[in-house]
Structure 1
Amino acid sequence: MDVLRENVKKLKPTERYCSILFDEMCLSSGLNYKSSSDIIDGFIDTGVYRSQMFGDHVLVFMIRGIKKKFKQPICYTFCQGATKQDELVRQLKEVICEVHKTGLRVVATISDQGRANEGAINIMRNDTRKHYISNNLEYRNDYYEVEVAKGEYLQIVHLFDVPHLMKCIRNNLITKDLTFSTNGIKKTAKWEHLIQLYQADSFIPDCKMLPRLTDAHVIPEKIPKMKVRNACQVFSQRVSAIMNFLASKSIIDPGAADTAEIFLFFDKLFDSLNVSFDKVVDGKIFRTSVKKNSIHHQLWMDSLKVLSTMKFVNKNGKAVSIPTIKNWEMTIKGFQTLSKALHIKGIQSLLPRVLNQDSLENLFGGIRSVGCSNPTCSIFMSSYKTLLLNNLVSSHSPGANCEDFTEGCLLTYKNLFSIRQETPEMPLLSCDLPEQVIPNQLDTTQYLRDLTHTFISGYIIKKINKNLLKNCKTCLKLICSNNTSSENYELLQAREYQPSRPSLKYPAPSFGLLVSKIIVNITQCLPSVCHHPKIKSILIDKILSNFNLSILHCPKHDDSIQYKIAECIVNLFLHFWCTEINRILSGKRKIKHN
């Protein structure tokens, strides 16, 4: 935020108005120990709270300029499933306040129609309504307020992502009929009318009236439900005009005229809310910037009247409550309020396309292309940093569910690294789980376990000898055994490449027993404290306080050998434990019980 604050100082007052976009991306569950920060990534982490539950979604916040073209992802949190409504309210308020401190002025928030998103906005609106009522003020349900400083409230409009609304209307129309009224006449739109149109067009052998339409646009089983483009190409003036023409000739069901009308209705509405040009292009009169006296305002008022009559009806004729229609109304009212407010603030021309989630969708596409299609928390963080350092240099991600855009970031390499970053506060941690009790093992299992512990003890000796002891005879005499014929060393002997020339280290019985006890202790306590920051330090301190390592005394290495042995064991088991958990989560390994 300090970096952002420095760059905002260069912006003109009208260039500081922005929106906050937020959305969740699905992740794979998985753990990764990050030695640089001494923490295990992959758990729920909201910035102020951290628990042992696995994170499988990430919530990302991004700011996007309204007059000046800029975008900047600013933070993310990990959750399991969707972020809860109350937690989303807390995070959203905190983000708005922090962005406000940089000098930017938030006038809108944008999200999809997720249940938690709707619930969070309703909570904030209800809180605003209570505040107005308690102060004897009139409240209109077009905005909510956030206290950004003592006694200073910011009015913010919430908009639902318009392409997402279009997609949801299409998805509902596939399985339900849509009833609506214009000029007092009740009408019904049906998806089967589009199928009739498509079939009639498909019979033409050498050319098509609607060459853009394919099975992926029309046939329900073949439609990609998440693709916005396919929905928008159906709700178009061309499809509406040809459907209306064929219905008038009774080539298809005459009732298709109602469906043609609703297609044209949403085509005009989408054009008016997805504008990126200042002038009329291809005769689309609503696909121009919104000004004080532009034709958009009348269209929006007329659209609200039609939307208020809309209902989805299932095949049994029963009305079905669909939040998309209500959210269309809320979004249109939001644009009405926002365009007037921005005009007062000196922005005479508004391009509504800057008020959708395309930038955030493009970020998600970039993260998937940098890492993998379904990254873990750790891979997400690495990809996020890569894109941040590259200033999101690609204007469009291959396969992204949005249109191209050419917005720049507010951060640069120079000020990102030159400004000192504040140390984040320690998050609140969930209660530690009870330490795991390891059950008694079968004789064979216990035998193999003892051999494995002995082998690991030898590996640790080899590791610390290379990095610290440097073949110190005093130390090696304390921790190594000259008698290699004991049955405890059978696994070590089996692992020798050349039994006649041993190259592995054979631990002394006392050292092997010590390492074995430490391994058992780590295995028991790690699941309980795995979500703690500084996890390696916690485990090392636990080892040094619970075990007597005084048998390892050497005048040359007394100060460091005990800590190094504990550190080597902890490093080994942190990575091993994370790997085992990931294999279980991915189904590559099942939990075995005796």
Structure 2
Amino acid sequence: MKVKLACQVLSHSVAAGMQTYYIEKNVLPAEASTTAAFIQKMDDLFNLLNSSNFENCQAFMGTEKQLQLIEESYNMFESMEVLNHEGKSMRKQLKFISGWKLTLKSLLELWKILKEKNYKYLFTRSLNQDCLENFFGQVRNCSGNAKNPTPIQFCRAFKKLFSLKFFDQVEGANCTDDVNHLLLNINSNTEKYSEILVEQDVSKVNPIRVFTSDYQNLSSPEGNGLVYVTGYLLRKCLIQHTCNICVDFASSSKDLTNEETAFCKLKAYTDTKSFGGLTLPSKHIAEQVINMENIFIEYFNSVAARKGIGNFFKDRYSDINLNHPCKDFPLSYFISLYVRVRIYFTLKSINQDVKNNKFRPLKNLKLQILQNL
């Protein structure tokens, strides 16, 4: 039911990863290229229908590129066939196909009306039904075991919610928080709420992800991913300290082979020759990060329960030398950020496994509700 899980699968990163495995390593069959192209198409379409700003998610403005994407996507759903294990078409039973077509046509018709009223752009995220689902979820919670409230129960729940907590998101909802609670506090000092609408910077919140692979060389798909992460760390260091030496080094340190940077090329959203603005490390720096990774894998399980685990790994990395030409390069920050990122994603992965084992879907929810009446 959670949309975010589908977004994580049908994403640009998954498409780039599949292309990396297929193009560079031939691990996946030839059909993987077509699958990756479909995933990329769905990611582009979702971004188009989920725009909320002009930066990370560009607003819908009816540009030629956006209209072409809608036309191509509509034709894709128009010709899409879904077959069961017997080879019979399941198209009529699957309502999402007609739903996508209706959504795309509706967006075009709505845009025609908005253009007549001189609107310049449209934040398409405002068209989703998350706010409505949040409200109905609160109504159902107010009715106790009555998952299908009567009209009287609905009216009473509506009055209660409107008076007390209409803008609260229901716990365990499968849709995004619509942050409508901001409407209750609109004034001239709304800047203090800006952090609610954007993701926090990873360098400020003690972040991490655990990989169980032992990277033997940079040409492996896992090594490709590590090159990408190393470039991210260097880009964050440029925010801490910027000088001509650091900028020139970051833009000229592409001594990695094409095979080693395949994922970065595919991950870039714009010109792949310049890696879409991505920062690439030198081969030496990437190799040093691999050494840090191997140390983390070796010691993490034995020291995970200790206090000061971050300082433990920073001490282990004290001999790391990146051979950076700038004497003011923030090496300590580079190591600290790597440790935080690594631990964060490690714990996130472990916590997710624990959560999946502890909270399983209730198989007989309706039966349990009847037993409690």
Higher strand share goes to which structure? 1
Higher helix share goes to which structure? 2
Q: Is the radius of gyration larger for structure 1 or structure 2? A: 1
Please tell me the TM-score bracket, short chain as reference. 0.3 to 0.5
**TM-score w.r.t. length of structure 2:** 0.44
